[in-house]
Structure formats: C-alpha cells, structure tokens
Amino acid sequence: MIRGLYTAAAGMVTQQRRHDTATQNIANMNTTGYKQVDSVSHAFPDVLISAMSGGTTKQVGRLNTGVFAEQSISQYLQGDLIESGKPYDFALSTDLLVQDPATGENIVFDGSGKYVNADGEVIYRPQAFFTVQDNEGNNLYTRNGSFTVNAAGEVLSSGGFKVLDAAGNPLVLTEPQDNLKVDGQGNLLDPATGLPSGTKLGISVITKPQELVRDGNGVFHADDADAAEIRYADAGDNLQVRQGYLEGSNVDATQVTVDLNAAYRAYEANQKVIQFYDTSLQKTVNEVGRV
C-alpha cells in the first residue's frame, strides 16, 4: 500500500513539471526567437515479481513503481518570420541539408527535426544561430535577432551580449549606422558601392543542437563545443539572413494547450489515488487495528 502512495506521489511531481513546461511555453508564445520545450517522462526501472512455492520460483510478472520527468527537450523548428522594417532586426531562414551516411541521400526529418536511420542511429537536423558573447568571453547562441547599437558602435543582442562577426570578434560598426545593409548571406555591405565590405555576421551552424543547454533569455550555450560540432556558416549552407525581420516563437498553441490540460487531469487522478490510500490507511489504523 505504501508503494502505491510513492507511485502516485511520483506521478504528481511529474505532472507538475509537465504543467510548468506547458505554462512556460504559453507565456513565451510571443517571445522573439523562443523555442518550444517538451517535457520527457520515463518510468522507474521495472521490478520483477516472483513467487516461491515448494522450492521453486515462479515469475508472476513485472511491476513499475512510478514515473519521473527526466528532461526537457527544446524543439528548434523554424518559427514564422515577422516583418519589423527595422535595420537592426535580423531573422534566419534555414533548411540545412544532411546526407544519410548509409545511403548518401538527403535526410527527410520528421516534424520534430529528428531522423532515425536503419541502424537505429538518431540524427537531428542541424540548426543555425546568431553568435553572441557574454562578459566572460563565452560564446552563446540565439535566434533572437533584435539587435541594437551603442554609442561605441558595438552591436548588442536584446540581452546585452556582444554580437560576433564571422571571425569570432565583437561586431563594431564604423560606417554611419543608418545606412546599414546586410545581404542574404549575412555580409555587411559597403554603403558606397553596395558590395560586401569584408565583415559578416557570425552565424554558427550547430550540427548536434541536442547538445545545447538553455540559459534563458533566448540564449543557449554548449558545454562541449566539439561534441555539438559547432562551426561558422559558409556559402554552401542553405540559409538566408533576412534584414528587417524577426523570427517569432515556434510554440504550437493548440498542442501546448492539450498538454496543459492533460497534465492537469493526470495530476488530479494521482491526487485521488493518494486520497484513496489515505482513507484506506485510516481505516486500517482506526478500525482493523481495534479488532
């Protein structure tokens, strides 16, 4: 009976975390560059139940003792592009291609940006991010291209981080700021000639985005850059920089609402189970024990 209490309590904690995740997604439906988070739940290890009779052991079956919210996974699907008309707003439109090592053909990813090949290997769609740098010199990655320029000409992200160029250096504008023009590959154009000036936005391609860690405020970092396979974008990458646009949130409002209600109902069901066990224990102590 006590095991049932623990199982129901574990279910309540898991559903609370699912509910919190869905609430976070709903709260960021209008946040620029926000990527939806999905909560992944797993069961506790199964317990094998056996019965011994006459010196022999008979397997009765397996019992699961609860569930827990193991992790939260970010979905890096492309969000809608929203025109702002501001010269320091940028959005990335990407469709990075990957070939299956076994067949040599381009991989068709599912709706979550994942592909499982014939050998069971999971491959994630590579993603592109603007590269920014914090005060400690750590590289961070964001899809929020709402930038500003300070008095020194430094380009800053909405969180106050320094935006990097393709050489990994902080991007500093020397030309008149009102004339800033950027082409589809992220090259800053010379206002006099309209040709690339030699400076380019630092756009990082992350081959294994599942290695990224969410920091909040729309930025991510990689604990191991080599494991994430991070590099700067080149001309062969199928991506485009859109000046005067911002990428909206990729939250699926309908699905998140369903998840929110499902978590609430499951929490309520586990709560009823605990109430039932509490009543049963009360009867055991007050009535059965009296006999």
Asked if pLDDT for residue 4 goes beyond 80, the answer is no
Q: What is the mean pLDDT of the chain?
A: 86
Q: What is the C-alpha R_g of the chain? A: 26
Question: Does residue 137 sit in the same domain as residue 216?
Answer: yes
Domain identity same for 63 and 123? no
Angle at 28 between CA 26 and CA 34, to 5 degrees: 125
Residues 162 and 280 in one domain: no
Instruction: Tell whether 91 and 211 lie within a shared domain.
Output: yes
What is the C-alpha to C-alpha distance for residues 236 and 79, in angstroms, rounded to an integer?
22
H helix intervals, the chain:
2-27, 225-228, 253-283
- Pairwise CA distance, residues 202 & 214, whole Å: 20
Tokens linked to 122: 């999971």
185: left (phi over 0), alpha (psi -120 to 50) or beta: alpha
Q: What is the pLDDT of residue 88?
A: 93
* Residue 176 clears pLDDT 70, i.e. is over it: no
Residues 218 and 90 grouped into a single domain: yes
Q: Both 205 and 260 in a single domain?
A: no
Specify whether 139 is located in the same domain as 213: yes
* % residues pLDDT > 70 (the chain): 94
Interval 87-108: pLDDT, tens: 999 999 988 888 777 777 888 8
Task: Tell whether the model's pLDDT for residue 47 goes beyond 70.
Answer: no
Q: For position 193, what pLDDT does the model report?
A: 83
Is it the case that residue 113 has pLDDT exceeding 90? no
Q: Is the same domain home to 90 and 180?
A: yes
Res 162 pLDDT > 60: yes
Q: Domain range holding 276?
A: 2-74+251-288
Q: Are residues 88 and 174 in the same domain?
A: yes
Are 242 and 269 members of one domain? no
Same domain, 47 and 185: no
In this structure, the answer to whether residues 94 and 229 fall within a common structural domain is: yes
Please give the tally of structural domains in the chain: 2
